[in-house]
Amino acid sequence: MEEHVGQFWHRLVTHLAHSGYPAARVKLQEVERCVGILFRALGGDGGLQITSAEADAHGARRGWLQRLAGGHEKLSLAWRDAQFLRLPPSIDWLPERRLNRELYLWLAASASLAEVPDSDWFVDNQRRVVQTLAHFPGMEGRYRRLMVAHLATRPLPGDLPADEARAEQAVRQALLHPGSSRTLPAARHRPRPVPLWLHPHPPQAAQRAVNSDDPADGMSGDSRRTEEALRRRAERVEAPEGDRGLVTVRMENIFTWGEFVKVDRGSEDEDDPGRAEAVARDLDQLAVSRDAKRAKLSLKFDLDLPAAGQDDHVLGAGILLPEWDWKRRRLQPEHCRIVPMLSADAIACALPVHLRPTARRLRAQFQALAPSRVWHRAQPDGQDIDLDGYLRFACDRAAGRGVGAEGLYRAQHDGARDLVCALLADLSLSTDSWIGDRHRVIDVIRDSLLLFAESLATTGDRFGLYGFSSRKRDPVRVHTLKDFDEPYGSDVRGRIVAIRPGYYTRMGAALRYGCRLLSAQPGGRRLLLLLTDGKPNDLDQYEGRYGIEDTRQAVIEARRAGLQPFCVTIDDRGNDYLPYLFGNGGYVVIRRPSDLPRELPRLYARLTI
């Protein structure tokens, strides 16, 4: 009974203390697409992805009911960094749903401008508003509506202590006439947050203090997505001495977590791994330290390369390729080493039984793309007489014209599509994840490559198949599954069946290698296909914006070389970053990974018609 009464009381007080308008709430998911389009259309950095911002303590005065409810300490505000434009996951600050939706659009327009000098958040946000209205005059009406609606929700200066009243008056003046307030008076509490402005103190990520070989770098895709969504302020501290001091209180009396959290959560005695994430969400600031001590009874898995005797065959000493440094805006020559490889344990085999019905249907469909035999007329010799040519010759002779008996035959020759294709398949560690209860991503990629090769063998198009993964910039391993001049058969099928998950995804290096191979092939049209399940990443600095920019530069280089790059992904977040990499018409997202084996050959048919 006591528990039910407590829950009822908590819900009642929380509801009464809420200062927003739940009926007018707009979620970021509802407007994410149009916000992204507006942000980039107004000149925003195309490399930034739209994501949700974490709630952060605002430090403003709370009412007694809010303090009683124990809430309203944190608020999600908009801010941006080198990788993301972070917007509140939902907005219900204004009384109308239309206004809350317009607030998302205003924040996108405001954030699309270049960074203003980081001197003072109060002055900088006023300057940003002035610049936004100057660059986009059509936003002025929207800003006025949002400003008037927001001012109605702010506390009146007369209801605040003198010091906070002066600060509130300065904020109101800055909202009404941006640029007119030069200083924010000091007060005991910070003024209430301004949702029309960007975050006054954006959380910054802690610098990596661990070795780049840390196995945490090889986390799964879901873990990376969670890590990307979290961003906290951090400070570096000295590691505490665990064997110093005495416990002077009973442990059951400790109800809160301290702010010190070890980076290596796996070395702590924690029964519930998910508890660490919950604790991290509750902390506003993380303390990070380097602990040189070796943990007892812990296991460390390092994704090292296999021994030479157990590895695949290496074809040559390697190929050095450049890489794009997006901060310096230049190519770093001979920065990556491509290591071509050939499977050592592949066994020639027939097409798997479960793929044969689909392969028969695809072969029947692709036969329509195969070049047919064409009659060539007016030939000096051939299998048959060209009746049209002979009639013209006979009429000219009967009219007394002196014409030679040339081009009186017709011959039949095979047609040609004059098309060559290279497919690069991502064989990174993330392909070892499961799709449902029966298949892994690598199994879907394997089936896709088999059906793709079966289909292209029917048309007679020249194609090459390659798989890639990397472990830093040296080596970037590229497995040759089928070369351009090699006929498709049981040996190629054996190599495809033998593929397995590798390491990481240095996508730019793989694209440059594919561009190099494809550029050397004769053909009027050359298609460079990339099959992947996620964003570019690696153990070193390639993670994040660096890898995105290098991949984009590799795509630009491929187009300059006369190639047609195209990306096929099963990443459900592909629409966030692929338009920046490949353009709006240069990629496709397969929503159901199990459909990839059937859809990949059909996509190729649409691209090459």
Query: With 50 as the cut, is the pLDDT of residue 575 above it?
Result: yes
Q: What is the pLDDT of residue 418?
A: 77
Query: What integer pLDDT is reported at residue 310 of this predicted model?
Result: 74
Across the chain, mean pLDDT equals 81
CA distance 606 to 167: 62
Rounded average pLDDT over 135-151: 93
- Which has the closest alpha carbon to 466: 519, 522, 513, 536? 513
Is residue 528 within 8 A of residue 587, CB to CB? The reply is no
CATH of domain 339-366+417-608: 3.40.50.410
First-residue to last-residue Cα distance in the chain: 71
Q: How confident is the model at residue 511 (pLDDT cuts 50, 70, 90)?
A: very high
pLDDT for the residue numbered 493: 96
Please report the pLDDT score of residue 242 as a whole number.
Answer: 53
Q: Which residue spans of the chain are classified as CATH 3.40.50.410?
A: 339-366+417-608
Across 176-185, 407-416, 449-458, 569-578, least confident range: 407-416
* Residue 589 C-beta-side C-alpha neighbours within 13 Å: 13
Q: Tell me how far the alpha carbon of residue 504 is from its chain's centroid.
A: 14
Q: What are phi and psi of 60, to 5 degrees?
A: -85, 165
- Give the model's pLDDT for residue 406: 74
> What are the tens digits of pLDDT across the range 386-408?
777 778 878 877 887 777 777 77
- Write the pLDDT tens digit of every residue in 196-232: 998 887 765 433 333 333 333 434 444 444 444 455 5
pLDDT mean over 496-517: 95
- Rounded to an integer, the average pLDDT of 471-493 is 94
Encoded tokens for 361: 């249907």
Does residue 288 surpass a pLDDT of 50? yes
- Percent of the chain as helix, strand, coil, to the nearest 5: 40, 20, 40
Question: What value does the mean pLDDT take over residues 61-68?
Answer: 66
Look up residue 328 and give its DSSP letter. T
Q: Please state whether 283 falls in left (phi above 0), alpha (psi between -120 and 50) or beta.
A: beta
Reply yes or no on whether the pLDDT at 427 is more than 80. Answer: yes
Assign residue 256 a region (left: φ > 0; alpha: ψ between -120 and 50; beta: otherwise).
beta
Q: Residue written as tokens 């509130």?
A: 168
Q: How far is CA 397 from the centre of its chain?
A: 73
Query: Which range, of 312-316, 518-522, 533-537, averages the lowest pLDDT?
Result: 312-316
The more confident residue out of 233 and 512 is: 512
Which amino acid is residue 572, in one-letter code? D
Integer Cα distance of 605 and 100 in angstroms: 45
Residue with the larger pLDDT of the pair 336 and 159 = 336
Higher pLDDT: 57 or 238? It is: 57
